[in-house]
């Protein structure tokens, strides 16, 4: 399948525009990083790398960030951070807030103490236990079943069996699934199977309805975070080094160096976009970056392989013309594969939810940057090296391949 036929674009003549664009993106992104880290004393790392506690809170209405920030400061948690969450597929998530508390302590007890301080601030600031009653929005199914068994609103007596356990499970599922973890009126539960007026009345008599609900909590020690940070850096460097060796073996060292420079360029620009759009770097982001390293390298190798084949057929043509012809011949393949990949990760970014938001954002940016760097950065580097070190035309040393490999290359050309 070909989208374009007889394309004749002078890519090498436009290389200076690609380089200028890359330098501009790098300058903008890393200026943003400098302002975040140095000027504002912020951080680019997520809880996975810096260590500390994250508490995910959902409010019944728009999050009162100023009131929450003041409560945290009064409790001595001035190093805490607040981040709003907005999930286009979950309307209730627009009221979500992530409270982060960076901690240097190593013990689980100290980390848990930080979490408890955050919970105490929430209880004290927003009155989660109004009227001295437990909060229905935080109750577990087991505790709710025990409370229903004691009050016995259905008058089952000794015949209750597991009826209240099942009813408690349905009530908490309705709270979490249908109402996003926040019930603002007990009448909202009347549609639950088994929730008779007597049951709803018992809930209203035994429980209060707080203004917030704890959705999740995560704790990571700083030593573990530091180890993960170093391992992530080395994993990326090992991947780049391995690809450099492979491409240098299959082509020449300059091709490997050009491909690695282009991939490194992709990673730096993607990290710059993370700073611009205030996304934190976590383990899932590192997984996305390593995926992009392989994706961008694959696209670059396709172009280089076509250059190698054309060098055999166009022995009298200038080297820049051979590179232009190779890029044009693989353009349909590049548009098809990159375009479909971009659409997939874009849907993941828009509809994948907040948990995958940073991962999918890295993929969206990386696919675009990785595609253009193959012909806008890697190929021009080889052309420039050839111009200043290879004379009129540098020929690639083609290594003998198997018959199967030659058939694959011939099929790819067709």
DSSP secondary structure string for all residues of 289-355: HHHHHHHHHHHHHHHHHHHHHHHHH-TTS-HHHHHHHHHHHTHHHHHHHHHHHHHHHHHHHHHS-ST
**pLDDT score recorded for residue 106:** 57
- pLDDT digit string, tens, across residues 71-122: 888 888 877 777 777 554 455 567 888 887 776 655 666 667 777 888 888 8
**pLDDT score recorded for residue 235:** 83
**pLDDT score recorded for residue 397:** 41
Average pLDDT taken over every residue of the chain: 81
Hunting for tokens 């209060």 — which residue is that? 208
**pLDDT score recorded for residue 395:** 45
Alpha helix positions (H), 75-107: none
Closest CA to 80 of 107, 109, 120: 120
Question: How many beta carbons lie within 10 A of that of residue 167, not counting itself?
Answer: 24
Three-state SS at 52: strand
- pLDDT digit string, tens, across residues 133-143: 888 888 889 99
d(CA 257, CA 12): 18
List, in sequence order, every beta strand (DSSP E) within 73-160: 80-85, 96-102
Confidence of residue 129 (pLDDT cuts 50, 70, 90): low
Arithmetic mean of pLDDT, 324-343:
89
Closest CA to 203 of 175, 176, 180, 179: 175
**pLDDT score recorded for residue 377:** 92
- pLDDT digit string, tens, across residues 273-289: 988 888 888 878 888 88
Hunting for tokens 């999930």 — which residue is that? 87
- pLDDT digit string, tens, across residues 39-56: 766 667 777 677 778 888
Q: How many CA atoms lie within 13 A of 250 on its CB side?
A: 20
**pLDDT score recorded for residue 369:** 92
d(CA 137, CA 57): 12
**pLDDT score recorded for residue 184:** 86
Arithmetic mean of pLDDT, 356-360:
86
**pLDDT score recorded for residue 365:** 93
Confidence of residue 3 (pLDDT cuts 50, 70, 90): low
**Residue 63: pLDDT over 90:** no
Percent of the chain with pLDDT over 70: 84
**pLDDT score recorded for residue 57:** 86
Is 215:118 a contact under the CB 8 Å cutoff? no
Arithmetic mean of pLDDT, 309-318:
85
Question: Residue 198: which H helix or E strand, with range?
Answer: helix 197-206
**pLDDT score recorded for residue 1:** 57
**Residue 413: pLDDT over 90:** no
Is 210:127 a contact under the CB 8 Å cutoff? yes
d(CA 103, CA 111): 7
**pLDDT score recorded for residue 183:** 87
Give 220's strand partners.
52
d(CA 103, CA 327): 51
d(CA 369, CA 296): 9
**Buried/exposed 132-166: b ≥16 CB within 10 Å, e otherwise:** eebbbbbbebeebbebbeebebbeeeeebeeebbe
Confidence of residue 244 (pLDDT cuts 50, 70, 90): confident
User: 51-55, 70-74, 185-189, 385-389: which has the minimum mean pLDDT?
Assistant: 51-55
Question: How many beta carbons lie within 10 A of that of residue 83, not counting itself?
Answer: 14
As given in the structure block, the two tokens for residue 106 are 């190593």
Is 265:374 a contact under the CB 8 Å cutoff? no
Domains and CATH numbers, the chain: 12-41+221-413 (1.20.1640.10), 52-127 (3.30.70), 131-210 (no CATH)
As given in the structure block, the two tokens for residue 217 are 């909590």
């Amino acid at each position: 399948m070909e989208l374009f036929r007889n394309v004749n674009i002078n890519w090498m003549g436009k290389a200076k525009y690609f380089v200028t664009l890359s330098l501009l993106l790098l300058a903008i992104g890393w200026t943003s990083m400098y302002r975040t880290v140095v000027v504002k004393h912020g951080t680019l790392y997520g809880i996975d790398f810096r260590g500390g506690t994250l508490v995910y809170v959902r409010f019944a209405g728009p999050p009162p960030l100023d009131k929450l920030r003041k409560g945290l400061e009064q409790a001595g948690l001035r190093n805490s951070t607040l981040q709003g969450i907005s999930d286009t597929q979950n309307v209730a998530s627009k009221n979500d807030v992530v409270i982060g508390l960076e901690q240097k302590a190593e013990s689980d007890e100290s980390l848990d103490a930080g979490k408890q301080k955050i919970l105490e601030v929430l209880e004290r600031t927003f009155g989660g236990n109004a009227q001295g009653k437990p909060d229905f929005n935080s109750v577990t199914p087991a505790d709710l079943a025990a409370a229903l068994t004691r009050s016995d609103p259905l008058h089952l007596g000794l015949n209750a069996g597991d009826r209240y356990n099942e009813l408690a499970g349905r009530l908490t599922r309705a709270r979490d699934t249908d109402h996003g973890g926040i019930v603002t009126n007990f009448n909202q539960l009347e549609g639950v199977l088994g929730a008779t007026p007597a049951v709803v009345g018992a809930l209203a008599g035994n429980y209060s309805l707080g203004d917030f609900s704890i959705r999740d909590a995560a704790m990571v020690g700083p030593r573990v975070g530091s180890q993960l940070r170093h391992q992530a850096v080395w994993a990326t460097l090992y991947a780049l080094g391995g690809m450099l060796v492979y491409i240098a073996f299959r082509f020449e060292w300059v091709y490997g160096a050009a491909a690695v420079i282009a991939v490194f360029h992709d990673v730096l620009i993607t990290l710059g976009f993370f700073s611009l759009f205030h996304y934190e770097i976590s383990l899932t982001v590192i997984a996305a970056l390593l995926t992009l390293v392989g994706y961008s390298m694959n696209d670059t190798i396709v172009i280089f392989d076509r250059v190698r084949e054309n060098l055999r057929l166009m022995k009298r043509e200038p080297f820049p013309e051979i590179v232009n012809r190779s890029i044009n011949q693989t353009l349909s393949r590049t548009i098809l594969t990159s375009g479909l990949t971009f659409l997939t990760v874009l849907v993941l970014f828009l509809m994948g939810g907040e948990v995958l938001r940073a991962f999918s954002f890295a993929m969206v940016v990386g696919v675009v940057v990785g595609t253009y760097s193959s012909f806008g950065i890697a190929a021009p580097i080889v052309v420039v090296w050839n111009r200043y070190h290879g004379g009129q035309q540098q020929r690639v040393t083609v290594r003998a391949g198997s018959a199967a490999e030659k058939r694959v290359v011939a099929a790819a050309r067709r």
